[in-house]
Every structure is written in structure tokens, then in C-alpha cells.
Structure 1
Amino acid sequence: MSPENAPITISIERTVDPARIAEATAWMQTGINLATSYPGFLGSGWVRAGTNSTTWHMLYRFADDAALLHWEQSPERAWWLQSGSGFVHDQRTERRTGIEGWFDEPTEITVEHAGLVSPVPAAPPRWKQAVTIWLGFFPLNLLFTLLVTLLVPGWDALPIVVRVLLTTLCLTPVMTYVLLPGVTRMLRRWLTPTP
């Protein structure tokens, strides 16, 4: 899938006037409701950094560049942004595509902070991602299989579907939260070499 056909997630950090919290809350929800009606809209949400914080974070996602551009250039969005200009100010915007979650850097990211745009390195090629996942998954799966075969009587007698289900239920969180972050840190220079 080419970057222009990949889903795009927009992350916006905004500062909100503390005296106008109720108005800002309604404004945020109005923006989500407007975006929902656009083709290619995949979802949205927003959170405040804390109870007394003036920093709010908003995320929205579109199916591809064309769908996002249609929303960003729409008169509804222009009206919505203008209606909040007295009490909400954008601080930082990130546009992300790729497989965030497995690797730190997405395929493409543009960061705007106080009007300045800075590029961030691209994600590694898919073959390097596949090798990295395999390097974590193979030893983990082998160790798990050996241990469970030795420690759980009757493991081999279970139907294959049950064994695979239990194995993936146990190993997926370990891979996601422990092994892959560690392997990607160890292989960082190989995954994303500096030019």
C-alpha cells in the first residue's frame, strides 16, 4: 500500500481557555460530528491532559490522503475552526501513516509545532520489520512450547486449535509489550540507519 493510499492519523495538541471549558467541550464534539459525515472518516476522539489542564489532545483518522484533504479543505471544517478561534489554539500537529504500535517511527510523519514543520525519519522497510518480529517471536514461541509441553500434562492431547489459541493468548501481550520494544531498541541502528 502506497503512503498516499494508507490511512492517516492526525494528532493535534490544543490549548484551551480555562474560563471556557464547557464551550470548548461542545466545540470539540461538534468537530467530531462534522468529520463523521465525510467519506473515508475512520474515527476520532479527544482527551484532556488532566482535570485542571488547559492542554487537550485530539485524534482523527481518515482512509487516505484524498479523504483527509477533502475534510481539511471543507467549508464545514473552516467554519468549525473559526468558531473556536477565540478559546482554542493549536500547539502541535502530527500526521502519521504506517504501523504505529510495532515500531517507534511510522512510515511517514510530519510534525508542526508553533508553525514550524520538521520531518521525522521513515519507518524501516517491511522486510526489516518482518525479520525483527521473527527474531522476537521464534525464540519466545520455542521456549513457550518447550516449557508448556514439559509442565502441562496432556498438552499434546489438546486439539491443535485450543493449543494455538492458548499460545497466542499468552504470547501476544509478551510480544507487544516486552519483546518487540526490546528487539527494536537492540536493532534500532539496523532498522533506521542514519543517512
Structure 2
Amino acid sequence: MVNEDLRKESDPPVSIMMSRMPLPGKEQEFETYLNGITEAAQRQPGHLGVSIIRPSGQERNYYILFKFDRRSNLEHWEKSDERARWRSIAKQVSEKPKRHMVTGLEAWFTLPDQAMVAPPPLYKMAVLAWLAIYLLISGLLWLIGPLLEPHPLMLRTLILTGIAVPLMTFLLMPLLTRIFKNWLYS
């Protein structure tokens, strides 16, 4: 168990955020590139998913998030011949990307509608995560606590966390990150 903990610490899950802008007149070729690199990445060991935020309005930047279960799997993908081929195609259809690697809680504190910046200080992430968990657990206990009370502790905890984690990840943290962005990124 200790060796596994050390491995996780030295080889953590990782996400790469990229901002890419298609070259003028190459938008369709860029979309083809996105589809191709997404399919190629999905075949890689440890790949956990790709999220793409396409531009809206006057915005021309695409935001792409590649997630891997371990930094070593990302590095293997980054050094592969297949990745080199996709990098070559990208140079033909888009401007040079802006890249930022995030691990752990940093991924919760991203602002997709903003240029990529360094993550906020760890103490600010901890304070905001604590606030989110406090609000979420308090609200859930108020709403469904009485319904869960007759059930065994482990089942109550399973249900509560099964609701809390998706709400925290997809709703509350993005909302609080936007609300507190001036404080987080000051």
C-alpha cells in the first residue's frame, strides 16, 4: 500500500489544457484535426477523456482538455510517433497552442472563458473547496437527510457522496470559481 501511495504521489493523474486558434480559412481542416487527435488520444493507455470548448461569438480560440490517469501515460503519448504526426498537422491548420498542465484540485479552478493562467494559490483553492463542500453537504442534509435517516450509515454516505461529487464537479465549483475569480486570481 505504501508503494502504491508513493507511485500515485510521484505519478499523479494529470490534465493538459490547450488553447488553439485555427488559421484563417483553415477552420474546417482544424475541426478534422480535432476529431482525429481526439480519436488517437482515446486509444492511448490511461486516457480518461477529452473535453473541447468551441468558440462562440467573436472568440476564435478552442479550449481542449486531455485527461490521463497518470503523468507517465501522458508523457508516453506526448513522446509517441503518432502524437508527433498530429503535432505536425496542427502546425498546418492552427497557431501555436498555449498549454498548461494541471493535477489534482487545480482542474476544478479553471475558467474556460478566460485565457489560461497559472492556478490560484493552494490556500485559496482549499478555502473555496471547503466553502463548496460546506454549502453542498448542508443543503443535501437539509433536503434529503430525513429521507436517508432510516438507512445504514454506509448507504447514507454512498448516496450522499454519489450526489455531492457530480454536483461539486459540474455545478458548484465552476459557479464558485466564476463568482470568486477576482479573489482567486488576484
Rounded Cα–Cα distance in structure 2 between residues aligned with 1:58 and 1:160: 42
Q: Secondary structure at the match of 1:86?
A: helix
Match of 2:70 in 1: 64
Structure 2 gaps, min length 5: none
| RMSD, matched Cα | 4.5
Q: Secondary structure at the match of 1:16?
A: coil
Rounded Cα–Cα distance in structure 1 between residues aligned with 2:102 and 2:17: 8
> Is the CA contact (8 Å cut-off) linking 2:50 and 2:67 kept in structure 1?
yes
Which protein shows a greater Rg? Answer: 1
Match of 1:123 in 2: 122
TM-score, scaled relative to structure 1: 0.59
The equivalent position to 1:160 in structure 2, one of 151, 157, 161, is 151
Match of 1:40 in 2: 46
Q: CA deviation at 1:88?
A: 0.7
Match of 1:177 in 2: 172
Rounded Cα–Cα distance in structure 2 between residues aligned with 1:23 and 1:122: 38
Rounded Cα–Cα distance in structure 2 between residues aligned with 1:65 and 1:101: 14
Structure 1 gaps, min length 5: 106-111, 150-154, 190-195
Q: Which has the higher contact order (CA 8 A, sep 6+)?
A: 2
Match of 1:6 in 2: 12
Alignment: residue pair count: 163
Higher strand share: 1
Rounded Cα–Cα distance in structure 2 between residues aligned with 1:157 and 1:97: 34
Matched, 1:25 2:31: yes
TM-score, scaled relative to structure 2: 0.62
Match of 2:80 in 1: 74
Higher helix share: 2
